[in-house]
Structure 1
C-alpha cells in the first residue's frame, strides 16, 4: 500500500503478530525514507502527520498489535 503524499511503502499489515523490533527493521529496509519507532500500545504520541515516521505498536510481550503505517 502507498500514500501519494509519502514516498515508498506506507503500510505493513503483514507484520501484525510478529516481534516489534524485527518489524521495525523490516519497515526501515522496505522504505528507506522512514524511521520505525517501537512503542507499547497506549503510549501517548504526537498527532502530527510525518512521512518519515512509523509507529510500531506492541503489547507487553513486544508483539505488534496494530498495522504499522506511515504517519
Structure 2
C-alpha cells in the first residue's frame, strides 16, 4: 500500500507522533492513508488509541510504520 502522506516522527517521544498525526491528517482525503514512522514503543498503543477516539481506522503496524486511514 502506498500512503497518501508519510510523517517522519522517528526519534520523537510520545505524544509527539500523535500530535503530528492529529495536525496533519486533514491533508489527506477521506479514505486516504497516513503512514506515521515512529520508533517510540508507546506509539504502538497511543496511535491506535487516538484512532479509536477520533473515529479513524488503524490499519496496523509493520516495524516502525503505523498506518492510519482517515474516515471522517
Q: Above 0.5 in TM-score?
A: no
Q: Which has the larger radius of gyration?
A: 1
Greater helix proportion: 2
TM-score, structure 1 length as denominator? Answer: 0.38
